């Protein structure tokens, strides 16, 4: 039943091409029916020849010609039908594969970060590629072979019963045996196949994780360990796969034997019936052709079930991802956020990644439009999480966040994110050219605007130093650039976006002091007249912030201006003292 459900779901994915699917299905049935004519006509020709053997040649031809012409007609019909099915089934399957792939891709991109945390990108990619491959194969083979094979079986058996019920019993027993055998093998292999697929996914994750961290692997001389880890997964794949292969090999051997045995049985039984005058030679010939056809169809059906059993876990994984509803999506009455002034309020916000340990709790603060707020505190205090909640990377478990008095859960997600610019802790960049990376900020930006943004972000100098300038490709995650260059590029990107609300997550942590001073000025310039939330470790850079929130273990423990907090002699003073005490130490010879 599980297989049937899965198969029906695969066919339902045909979407708008369902009409073409139906036409192909009907052509297939016609094709399958036309195929039966051959053995019947063959038998009729033989019977005619035996009956008329004593008559003159012209009379024999007179009787045989109509049969041969009908046979030719059916032959031509099957060739035309077969060609059309082959041609269109191929197009349909390829076309739908690409649609399924882009639907999956779009869906995965909409899943919030919290949901993606459990799933490695390598695994998601493997599920997409193999899942769509399985879909393609199922569609193609359904329209090319399997529908015809199923229909043939459904028609052949009753038809055989009608022709000669005694011989037909042999065919029925054969069908039942095949059914029982396939079912038995499925029971034996299903669990193992699931394990095989699980190990394949582990392998995809392992490979993608290692390749994504190739500098780490090389610098820690971990090549052998990583290869060994991959080999260990390969061994697990093989030890689960081999028994499955053995079971299906048994099916192949049994079906071969069944062919020989069935034909022998039909010949023996046929001879016995012939001696009792219960059957003609033509009927025996028709039956042998039938048995060969039925066994051919049965083999097709069994090989289809074999492939479906192999692909079922892949398809289940594929549908599992597609069925994951994004926990963060637009409310039905969500509105556009048009030109917000940028007043932000956090009211009693609580969020936990795992539902147990809160990452932030009871956050209460207000950012007036155009103000700059700084979040400080030790690593892991919850600063990035607090700001991630503002652009709905995740939603709080309780409490609310508003912009200009509107709860952000009532604002369209795309509209919310259009109004917020983020400079991430690690600069996230595409393996594309500098220009393409900058255009992410504003796809319509002119060359002059690109140059202006790069200049304001202190990035123009290193861009122009490169012979390819804005056309230069920057490698996977910007690997071809230095940490400071990556940051300046991501600042230029947000300058182009020009949002009313800005989030700077440790944006100035990897720059040399000269560039940092210039960049700090640029950022002050950029944050003018926009609500800005900054996470900064160097406390000197946030002297001019309107309000500083000191966070510890997910809570705000102190709030106020730099001078107020410093004079209070609390946690902030301690942080400042620690930082300034650390400087001479670091510089000490």
Q: CA angle at residue 335 from 332 to 336, to 5 degrees?
A: 140
Q: Which of 128, 305, 359, 533 binds ligand ADP (CB under 6 A)?
A: 359
- For 143, half-sphere exposure in the C-beta direction (CA atoms, 13 angstrom radius) is 32
Assess 384 for contact with ligand ADP (CB under 6 A): yes
Is residue 479 within 8 A of residue 216, CB to CB? The reply is no
Q: Looking at beta carbons only, is 65 or 353 nearer to ligand ADP?
A: 353
Cα–Cα distance, 170 to 272 (Å, whole number): 14
Cα–Cα distance, 204 to 120 (Å, whole number): 9
Nearest distance from C-beta of residue 384 to ligand ADP, angstroms: 3
Task: Output the CA–CA distances (angstroms, integers) from residue 423 to 7, 239, 392, in the order listed.
Answer: 46, 47, 15
The window from 64-72, 268-276, 372-380, 514-522 that contacts ligand ADP (CB under 6 A) reads 372-380
Task: Output the CA–CA distances (angstroms, integers) from residue 4 to 9, 305, 586, in the order listed.
Answer: 8, 10, 68
457: which residues sit within 8 A by CB, 6+ positions away? 488, 489, 491, 492, 495, 519, 522
Q: Looking at beta carbons only, is 352 or 449 nearer to ligand ADP?
A: 352
Q: For the purposes of burial, counting CB atoms within 10 Å of the CB of 363, is it exposed (0-12), middle (13-18) or buried (19 or more)?
A: buried
Closest CA to 86 of 136, 18, 35, 145: 145
Buried b (16+ CB within 10 A) or exposed e, 402-432: bbbeeebbebebeebbebbbbbbeebebeee
Nearest distance from C-beta of residue 382 to ligand ADP, angstroms: 4
Q: Which of 286, 385, 487, 520 binds ligand ADP (CB under 6 A)?
A: 385
Q: Looking at beta carbons only, is 473 or 537 nearer to ligand ADP?
A: 537
- For 288, half-sphere exposure in the C-beta direction (CA atoms, 13 angstrom radius) is 18
Nearest distance from C-beta of residue 377 to ligand ADP, angstroms: 6
Assess 380 for contact with ligand ADP (CB under 6 A): yes
Nearest distance from C-beta of residue 572 to ligand ADP, angstroms: 15
Cα–Cα distance, 14 to 511 (Å, whole number): 53
Task: Output the CA–CA distances (angstroms, integers) from residue 180 to 150, 155, 167, 177, in the order listed.
Answer: 16, 20, 21, 5
Nearest distance from C-beta of residue 113 to ligand ADP, angstroms: 7
Q: Looking at beta carbons only, is 359 or 420 nearer to ligand ADP?
A: 359
Assess 381 for contact with ligand ADP (CB under 6 A): yes
Q: Looking at beta carbons only, is 219 or 379 nearer to ligand ADP?
A: 379
Assess 358 for contact with ligand ADP (CB under 6 A): no
The window from 17-25, 151-159, 179-187, 379-387 that contacts ligand ADP (CB under 6 A) reads 379-387
The window from 40-48, 383-391, 492-500, 507-515 that contacts ligand ADP (CB under 6 A) reads 383-391
Q: Which of 12, 53, 379, 446 binds ligand ADP (CB under 6 A)?
A: 379
Q: Looking at beta carbons only, is 340 or 382 nearer to ligand ADP?
A: 382
Closest CA to 371 of 408, 338, 345, 409: 345
Nearest distance from C-beta of residue 559 to ligand ADP, angstroms: 16
Assess 353 for contact with ligand ADP (CB under 6 A): yes
Nearest distance from C-beta of residue 352 to ligand ADP, angstroms: 8
The window from 87-95, 144-152, 286-294, 375-383 that contacts ligand ADP (CB under 6 A) reads 375-383
Nearest distance from C-beta of residue 356 to ligand ADP, angstroms: 11
Q: Which of 122, 382, 396, 441 binds ligand ADP (CB under 6 A)?
A: 382
Q: Looking at beta carbons only, is 122 or 377 nearer to ligand ADP?
A: 377
Q: For the chain, what is the radius of gyration of the CA atoms?
A: 36
Angle between helices 147-163 and 281-323 (to 10 degrees): 150
Is residue 432 within 8 A of residue 474, CB to CB? The reply is yes
The window from 175-183, 313-321, 374-382, 402-410 that contacts ligand ADP (CB under 6 A) reads 374-382
Q: Looking at beta carbons only, is 73 or 380 nearer to ligand ADP?
A: 380
Nearest distance from C-beta of residue 329 to ligand ADP, angstroms: 20
Assess 66 for contact with ligand ADP (CB under 6 A): no
Is residue 284 within 8 A of residue 132, CB to CB? The reply is no
Q: Looking at beta carbons only, is 160 or 533 nearer to ligand ADP?
A: 533
Nearest distance from C-beta of residue 380 to ligand ADP, angstroms: 4
Cα–Cα distance, 202 to 516 (Å, whole number): 42
Phi, psi (rounded to 5 degrees) for 338: -105, 125
Assess 55 for contact with ligand ADP (CB under 6 A): no
- Residues in a beta bridge with 363: 349
Each residue 111-150 as x (binds ligand ADP by CB under 6 A) or -, in order, gives ------x---------------------------------
Assess 361 for contact with ligand ADP (CB under 6 A): no
Q: Looking at beta carbons only, is 32 or 359 nearer to ligand ADP?
A: 359
Binding site for ligand ADP (CB under 6 A): 117, 353, 359, 377, 379-385
């Amino acid at each position: 039943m599980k297989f049937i459900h899965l198969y029906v779901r695969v066919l339902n994915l045909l979407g708008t091409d369902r009409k073409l699917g139906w036409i192909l299905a009907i052509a297939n049935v016609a094709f399958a029916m036309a195929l039966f004519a051959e053995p019947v006509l063959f038998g009729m020709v033989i019977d005619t020849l035996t009956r008329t053997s004593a008559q003159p040649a012209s009379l024999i031809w007179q009787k045989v010609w109509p049969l041969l012409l009908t046979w030719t007609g059916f032959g031509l019909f099957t060739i035309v039908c077969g060609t059309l099915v082959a041609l269109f089934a191929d197009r349909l399957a390829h076309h739908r594969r690409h649609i399924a792939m882009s639907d999956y891709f779009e869906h995965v991109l909409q899943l919030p970060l919290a949901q993606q945390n459990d799933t490695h990108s390598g695994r998601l990619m493997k599920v997409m590629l193999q899942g769509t491959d399985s879909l393609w194969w199922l569609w193609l083979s359904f329209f090319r072979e399997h529908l015809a094979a199923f229909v043939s079986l459904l028609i052949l058996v009753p038809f055989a019963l009608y022709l000669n019920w005694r011989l037909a019993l042999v065919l029925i027993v054969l069908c039942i045996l095949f059914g029982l055998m396939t079912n038995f093998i499925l029971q034996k292999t299903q669990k193992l196949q699931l394990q095989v697929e699980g190990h394949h996914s582990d392998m995809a994750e392992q490979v993608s994780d290692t390749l994504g961290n190739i500098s780490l692997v090389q610098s820690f001389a971990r090549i052998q360990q990583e290869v060994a880890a991959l080999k260990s997964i390969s061994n697990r794949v093989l030890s689960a796969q081999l028994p499955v292969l053995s079971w299906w090999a048994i099916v192949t051997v049994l079906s071969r034997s069944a062919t020989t045995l069935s034909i022998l049985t039909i010949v023996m039984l046929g001879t016995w019936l012939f001696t009792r005058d219960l059957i003609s030679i033509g009927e025996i010939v028709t039956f042998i052709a039938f048995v060969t056809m039925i066994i051919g169809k049965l083999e097709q059906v069994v090989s289809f079930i074999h492939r479906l059993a192999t692909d079922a876990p892949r398809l289940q994984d594929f549908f599992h991802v597609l069925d994951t509803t994004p926990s963060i999506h637009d409310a039905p009455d969500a509105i556009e956020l048009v030109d917000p002034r940028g007043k932000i309020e956090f009211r009693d916000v609580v969020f936990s990644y795992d539902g147990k340990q809160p990452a932030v709790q009871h956050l209460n603060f207000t950012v007036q439009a155009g103000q700059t707020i700084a979040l400080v505190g030790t690593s892991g205090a919850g600063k990035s999480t607090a700001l991630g909640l503002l652009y709905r990377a995740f939603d709080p478990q309780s409490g609310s966040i508003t912009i200009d008095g509107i709860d952000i859960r009532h604002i369209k997600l795309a509209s919310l994110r259009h109004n917020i610019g983020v400079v991430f802790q690690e600069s996230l960049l595409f393996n594309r050219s500098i220009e393409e990376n900058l255009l992410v900020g504003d796809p319509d930006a002119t060359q002059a605007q690109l140059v202006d943004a790069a200049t304001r972000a202190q990035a123009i100098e290193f861009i122009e130093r490169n012979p390819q300038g804005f056309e230069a490709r920057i490698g996977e995650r910007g690997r071809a650039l230095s940490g400071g260059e990556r940051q300046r590029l991501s600042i230029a990107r947000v300058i182009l976006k020009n949002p009313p609300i800005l989030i700077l997550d440790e944006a100035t942590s990897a720059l040399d002091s000269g560039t940092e001073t210039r960049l700090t000025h640029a950022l002050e310039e950029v944050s003018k007249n926009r609500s800005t939330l900054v996470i900064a470790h160097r406390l000197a850079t946030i002297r001019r912030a309107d309000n500083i929130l000191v966070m510890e273990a997910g809570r705000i423990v102190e709030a106020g201006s730099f001078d107020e907090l410093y004079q209070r002699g609390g946690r902030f003073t301690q942080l400042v003292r620690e930082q300034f005490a650390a400087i001479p130490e670091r510089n000490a010879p």
